[in-house]
């Protein structure tokens, strides 16, 4: 069977505005598991998920207990990988005829000189009222930025350069496991005097999924998101979905601002490097996306 790397958007785990309860997350995961369970009958699957809301919640819980110093962000990212990976694995494994499901705690090397460390932009945690900005920044030392009409904490998001655990991921895929990996973009690591060490950062999960697809030589990369495709003239009466495009044709959409730009940049890099197709679209249309009837297919 061919191997697909599938990146799950945040709506796969939590709808915007929902409380971060276990029940809410399981309800959303149940919908994901039904779709991915069918896909696993046709492909070997490596699943990458986001963790922005979850790691932000862990950070808040972490600071609430003041008897010990708060745990650093790299440890919290690892915790979120375990939590979300466990929940996804539980539901996927319950599907009839499911292949084995394994969650891999995944470490990701980044460059300690990445400019992202000086300009945090990655949203984590819940949304706040803009009137709370001064209090939150003073109380916790956070950097806050606008997210729509709300306010959220932002942290550095350096580019991933190497997946430490890709060999284990490949071995599991070769043995027909569904592999949940690179959760939350992976635990950010830099080279230190004593070897790799964790840093306070959250890596973009779409960039990590693209890097994973490259390192394991996947046959395709799929980024599932709220939007059902990449659109030309978005937000105007002339908007229309782009069904097929080359990386060069999509280059004007690969901007760092907005939610679609990083996804376009990630899939375009994968297609250029491996010459294999990538897709962007909505979870419930996955079969149509892979058939070229929905979403956006990016190929050479």
Please tell me the distance from the alpha carbon of residue 109 to that of residue 152, in angstroms, as a whole number. Answer: 26
Enumerate residues 6+ apart whose C-beta is below 8 A from 83.
54
pLDDT-based confidence at residue 82 (cuts at 50, 70, 90): very high
pLDDT at residue 11, as a whole number: 65
Per-residue pLDDT averaged across 24-48, rounded? 93
- If one compares 56 and 30, the residue with the highest pLDDT of the two is 30
CA distance 55 to 80: 6
CB 16 within 8 A of CB 148: no
Distance from C-alpha of 209 to C-alpha of 8, rounded to nearest angstrom? 10
Domains of the chain by start residue, with CATH: 3-111+160-298 (3.40.1160.10), 121-155 (no CATH)
Taking only the tens place, the pLDDT of each residue in 270-286 is 999 999 999 999 988 99
pLDDT higher for 55 or 235? 55
**At residue 248, does pLDDT exceed 80?**
yes
Q: Which pLDDT does position 90 carry in this prediction?
A: 95
Q: Which of 81-95, 162-176, 177-191, 259-273 has the least mean pLDDT?
A: 259-273
Q: What is the pLDDT of residue 222?
A: 97
pLDDT of residue 18: 84
Mean residue pLDDT of the chain comes to 91
pLDDT tens digits along 193-220: 888 999 999 999 999 999 999 999 999 9
Q: Enter the DSSP assignment of 206.
A: H
Distance in angstroms (rounded) separating the CA atoms of residues 271 and 159 = 18
pLDDT at 227: 83
Q: Are 157 and 116 in contact (CB under 8 A)?
A: yes
DSSP state of 284: G
Q: Which of 14-18, 51-55, 226-230, 275-279 has the highest average model confidence (pLDDT)?
A: 275-279
Provide the 8-state DSSP code for 18. -
Q: How far apart are CA 23 and CA 63, in angstroms?
A: 24
Is residue 4 a contact partner of residue 222, using CB atoms and an 8 Å limit? yes
- Identify the pLDDT of residue 257: 58
> What pLDDT was estimated at residue 197?
94
Residue 55 CA: distances (Å) to CA of 106, 126, 292: 15, 10, 35
Phi and psi, residue 299, nearest 5°: -150, 165
The model's pTM: 0.91
Report, as residue numbers or ranges, the catalytic residues. 10-11, 122, 205, 263
Q: pLDDT tens digit string along 132-154?
A: 999 989 988 889 999 888 999 89
């Amino acid at each position: 069977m061919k191997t697909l790397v599938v990146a799950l958007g945040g709506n796969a785990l939590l709808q915007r505005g929902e409380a971060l309860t276990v029940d809410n997350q399981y309800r959303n995961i149940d919908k994901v598991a039904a779709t991915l369970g069918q896909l696993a009958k046709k492909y070997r699957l490596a699943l990458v998920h986001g963790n922005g809301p979850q790691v932000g919640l862990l950070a808040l819980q972490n600071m609430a207990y003041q008897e010990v110093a708060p745990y650093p962000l790299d440890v919290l990212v690892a915790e979120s990988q375990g939590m979300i990976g466990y929940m996804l694995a539980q539901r996927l494994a319950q599907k009839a005829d499911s292949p084995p499901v394994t969650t891999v705690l995944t470490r990701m090397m980044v460059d300690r000189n990445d400019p992202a460390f000086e300009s945090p932009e990655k949203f984590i945690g819940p949304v706040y009222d803009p009137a709370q900005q001064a209090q939150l920044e003073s109380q916790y030392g956070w950097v806050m930025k606008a997210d729509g009409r709300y306010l959220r904490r932002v942290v550095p998001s350096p580019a991933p350069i190497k997946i430490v655990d890709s060999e284990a991921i490949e071995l599991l895929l070769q043995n027909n496991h569904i592999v949940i990996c690179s959760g939350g973009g992976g635990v950010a690591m830099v080279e230190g005097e004593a070897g790799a060490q964790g840093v306070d950062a959250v890596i973009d999960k779409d960039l990590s999924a693209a890097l994973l697809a490259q390192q394991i030589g996947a046959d395709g990369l799929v980024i599932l998101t709220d939007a059902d495709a990449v659109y030309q003239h978005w937000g105007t009466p002339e908007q229309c979905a782009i069904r097929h495009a080359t990386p060069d044709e999509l280059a004007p959409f690969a901007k760092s601002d907005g939610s679609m730009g990083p996804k376009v940049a990630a899939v375009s890099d994968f297609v250029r490097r491996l010459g294999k197709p990538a897709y962007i679209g909505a979870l419930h249309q996955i079969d149509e996306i892979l058939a070229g009837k929905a979403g956006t297919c990016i190929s050479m």
